[in-house]
Amino acid sequence: MSNGSVYRRKGARTWTFAVDLGPDPVTGKRRRKSYYGYATRREAESARVEIVARLRNGMYVDPSKQALGEFLEGVWLPTIEPRVEAATHDNYRGVIQRYVVPHLGNVAVQSVTSAHLNGLYAHLAKCGGRNERPLSPRTVRLVHIVLRKALKDAVRWSLLARNPADAADPPKQKRSQIDHSLWTVEDAQAFIASIAADRMRCAWLLAISTGMRRGEVAGLRWRDVDLDAKSVAIRQTRTSVGYEVVVKPPKSGSQRVVALDDLAVSHLLDHRQRQIEERLAFGPGYDTSHDLVFRHEDGTPIHPELFTEWFQKRVAAAGLPHMRFHDLRHLHATLGLAAGIHPLVMSKRLGHANVSITLDTYSHVIPQMDRDAAGVVASLLDPGEVLRGRALTAGEG
């Protein structure tokens, strides 16, 4: 049975609806609440349906009494869970529990102001990290993004009249998202030389030479490798959410075919041969239930987190500067762009949704590309080069 109706008062420009909240548990009197100010009938109806669903599920709380922490953890996170990736939901929950609830969890949702949020951001920026160290501007902005999303839904669900995060002032963030302390070409060469006897050297080399994400390397299957065409197809990822492995196709923009260089092809051939030998040596108990390129000696899948753990151990053993596994992707992009690879080509290799993401993320490389372009154009227009070119043409005649 329908609860409430959407209507527009005579002469009003916005839409309204009212719902029956049931009898008051103390007085027994009927309770009815109206919600105002919706720009369209569709927005009002959507909010009405959401509130009625909460009433039926026993999740409705009087907005004037609900604390921010209760709303975020008890209402918002469960509601958005079916709509977002598991890893995204896990990240949102971590941000809320680590940075928001300890400081603003007891503040009523309807009392939250932009001043509250600015105070939170200032505190986090000063001493919100581990051992009360400053939290990076990027992480503080992530807290702001999560709160803005949650409070936007609170507005949509008629818990708030406006979103206080819209008027808050999170720290500014530089366009480049990359820590520029990546390896040099010499560092990368030294690392490759140091892993000559490493069973996982093919995985490390593949990440450097293709820019594949950790989950893409962990999820790569032999059926997606074409050694004759010198390419790999990115069709599956293996990621970790709360240490639980999640296997799924990559986002549509990340599904792609990436060309391989001769060294990567050679390492894949060697790796496949070693895998065959391991299977024969292990015997009937070898796990053949999947087609993964990278697996344990008994054929079982390697947990994605182990790729990072093993990689960092190899880096330390080689005496090289610390690098995350994901930084190999940044290294590939940075070296490629600096060498003159077109940003659109690099964007396709990385699986970015559009080239603007590549340009924004690796903007620190653009100045060098600009200088190189100026030099190339200048050499083409140099009078001496033009005269020498004419002389060569005349001599050939």
pLDDT digits (tens, 9 = 90+) for 301-314: 999 999 999 999 99
What pLDDT score does 207 carry?
97
- Whether 246 contacts 87, CB under 8 Å: yes
Residue 36 and residue 140 in one domain: yes
Domain enclosing residue 279, as ranges: 185-322
Are 26 and 151 members of one domain?
yes
Are 20 and 99 in a shared domain? Answer: yes
**Of 294, 322, 350, which marks where a domain is finished?**
322
Average the pLDDT over 142-163 and give the result. 90
pLDDT, tens only, 169-190 = 998 865 545 555 689 899 999 9
The better pLDDT of the pair 180, 367 is held by 367
In a domain, 235, yes or no: yes
Supply the pLDDT for residue 26: 62
> Residue 238 belongs to a domain with what CATH number?
1.10.443.10
Note the maximum CA span of the chain.
107
Domain stops at, among 281, 303, 322: 322
Torsion of CA 222, 226, 227, 228, to 10 degrees: 150
pLDDT tens, position by position, 187-227? 999 999 999 999 999 999 999 999 999 999 999 999 999 99
Q: Could you say which of 322, 346, 377 is where a domain stops?
A: 322
CB atoms within 10 A of CB 104: 19
Q: Considering the domain boundaries, does residue 140 fall inside one?
A: yes
Asked whether residue 104 falls in the same domain as residue 31, the answer is yes
**Residues ≥6 apart with Cβ < 8 Å to 266:** none
Average pLDDT of the residues in 134-146:
92
Same structural domain for residues 146 and 217? no
Q: Which CATH number is 125's domain given?
A: 1.10.150.130
Confidence of residue 228 (pLDDT cuts 50, 70, 90): very high
Strands 30-38, 237-241: parallel, antiparallel or unpaired by DSSP? unpaired
| Same-domain status, 115 and 201 | no
pLDDT at 319: 96
Q: Are residues 23 and 130 in the same domain?
A: yes
Supply the pLDDT for residue 25. 64
- 293/24: higher pLDDT: 293
Residue 383 lies in a domain: no
Q: Taking a C-beta distance cutoff of 8 angstroms, is the pair 120, 14 a contact?
A: no
Handedness of CA 154, 159, 160, 161 (dihedral sign): positive
Q: Is the pLDDT of residue 232 over 90?
A: yes
Q: How confident is the model at residue 63 (pLDDT cuts 50, 70, 90)?
A: low
User: Which range, 43-47, 238-242, 325-329, is most confident?
Assistant: 325-329
Q: Could you tell me if 91 and 134 lie in one domain?
A: yes
Residue 1 is predicted with a pLDDT of 44
Does 98 score more than 80 pLDDT?
A: yes
Question: Is residue 50 pLDDT above 90, yes or no?
Answer: no
Whether 199 and 160 map to the same domain: the answer is no
Total number of residues shown for the chain:
397
pLDDT in the model for residue 40: 87
> What whole-number percentage of the chain has pLDDT above 90?
55
Kindly indicate the confidence band of residue 157, based on its pLDDT and cuts at 50, 70 and 90.
Answer: confident
Domain count across the chain = 2
Cα dihedral 81, 86, 87, 88 in deg (nearest 10): -30
Buried/exposed 27-55: b ≥16 CB within 10 Å, e otherwise: eeeeeeeebeebeeeeebbebbebbbebb
Rg of the Cα atoms in the chain: 28
Within a domain: residue 292?
A: yes
Residue 19 vs residue 121, higher pLDDT: 121
Spatial contact of 47 and 38, defined as CB atoms under 8 Å apart: yes
Give the model's pLDDT for residue 181: 64
Closest CA to 324 of 334, 341, 310: 310
Please give the pLDDT value at position 299. 96
The answer to whether residues 136 and 58 belong to one domain is yes
Better-scored residue on pLDDT, 317 or 63: 317
- Work out the angle at residue 34's Cα, subtended by the Cα atoms of residues 30 and 35, and round it to the nearest 5 degrees: 150
pLDDT of residue 104: 95
Whether residues 191 and 245 share a domain: the answer is yes
Q: In terms of domains, do 158 and 20 share one?
A: yes
